[in-house]
A and B are shown apart, each in its own frame.
Chain A
Amino acid sequence: MSAASASGNVIRKYLPVYFLLIGIFLVEVLLSFRISHTSTLVIVLLLMAICSAVLGLMYFMHLGEERRGLFLTLIPVTIFVLLMMNMWWSDSVRLLHMRPPGQ
């Protein structure tokens, strides 16, 4: 296969992922006009953003093609750290009013 056709193929190969990402984003825009309840909107948009991120990681960043060890080393730890951060931030929100929420 020539060099020129090889790089043409990769664009064609990832074109469905590209359109899928744009499609997910457009659905997000549409939902942001439809859903008026903020918390529901945040959760829905966050879930869709996670789907986009997984597509980006697996296909554009080729994590799906790397050894499974790399995935297992990087991703669970990152998710754990982010979840722990979520726990700590919720505690720090009390600083907005210098008292725990609800008091």
Chain B
Amino acid sequence: MSETEVAVHGQGALMEGSPYAIPSRKFTMWLFIISDAVTFGAFLFAYGYIRVATPNWVRPFETGSVINVILMTVVLITSSLTMLGAGDASKAGDKAKAMRFLYSTMALGAIFALLHLREWFELFGRGITIGSGLFGQTFFTITGLHLLHVLSGVIAMLVVGTKYSSGRLTPSHVETMGLYWHFVDLVWMFVVPLVYLTNIAH
């Protein structure tokens, strides 16, 4: 490449395009998602082995908890749908609509967190805590890690949304934020069956 071309197109002219045809921030998010999936995988595998290897495992979830977890799951899956709307509206250049969708997603994330805390406090009331045995340790570690992801996502969405509405961030940032949020939803699809549904009191 000649010096003239570099002068005209800048240093970016020297860089090759992404082999995946996606922006680098989106690819970085994918790499983060993969590493986070492995982290959750480690916790879930550990839980699975401890769960199967331990006789007299605690099965604390009754009908009330099952209804609560159904509500939590529906709320989280719905938030993924509103996040898709936010990404699409931002791509179409409709900032007001994108923000409405983002606020809906944040509200659903907050509702999910509140339902989660309600479940936790219900267990605390029955003497099940992180220090009360293998069930408590694994349950609160895995669900706590997931809740941390949800809360981080809500805060990150607030930051991205605010900056996007003021024009400092682009629709691509909203899309990348969406990837993270869908991942949080995806992890929940493994947490619920393994941690909740296998521990229903019969």
> How many residues on chain A are close to B (CB under 8 Å)?
52
Q: Are A56 and B182 in contact (CB under 8 A)?
A: yes
Q: Are A82 and B41 in contact (CB under 8 A)?
A: yes
Q: Are A11 and B81 in contact (CB under 8 A)?
A: yes
Residues in A neighbouring B37, C-beta threshold 8 A? 78, 82
Q: Are B22 and A70 in contact (CB under 8 A)?
A: yes
Q: Does B93 contact A (CB under 8 A)?
A: yes
CA–CA, A52 and B22, complex, Å:
25
Q: Does A4 contact B (CB under 8 A)?
A: yes
Q: Are B89 and A7 in contact (CB under 8 A)?
A: yes
Closest residue to A52 on the B side, CB-wise? B189
Residues in B neighbouring A3, C-beta threshold 8 A? 89, 92-94, 97
Closest residue to B30 on the A side, CB-wise? A74
Interface hit among B44-52, B113-121, B160-168: B44-52
Q: Are B52 and A22 in contact (CB under 8 A)?
A: no
A-B contact count (CB 8 A): 151
CA–CA, A25 and B87, complex, Å:
25
Contact count band on B: 35 or more
Q: Are A89 and B30 in contact (CB under 8 A)?
A: no
Interface of B is mostly: helix
Q: Which of B78, B88, B179, B192 contacts A28 (CB 8 A)?
A: B192
CA–CA, A66 and B194, complex, Å:
30
Smallest CB–CB gap between A5 and chain B, Å?
A: 9
Residues in A neighbouring B84, C-beta threshold 8 A? 10-11, 14, 60
Q: Are A85 and B38 in contact (CB under 8 A)?
A: yes
Closest residue to B81 on the A side, CB-wise? A18
Closest residue to A24 on the B side, CB-wise? B189
A4-32 interface mask toward B, CB cutoff 8 Å, 1 = contact, 0 = none? 10110111001100100110011011001
Q: Does B139 contact A (CB under 8 A)?
A: no
Q: Are B46 and A89 in contact (CB under 8 A)?
A: yes
Taking beta carbons and an 8 Å cutoff, which residues of B are in contact with A? 19-22, 27, 30, 34, 37-38, 41-42, 45-46, 48-54, 66, 70, 73-74, 77-78, 80-81, 84-85, 87-89, 91-94, 97-98, 101, 179, 182-183, 185-186, 189-190, 192-194, 197-198, 200, 202
Q: List 6 A-B contacts (CB under 8 A).
A: A4-B94, A7-B88, A18-B80, A39-B52, A45-B198, A60-B185
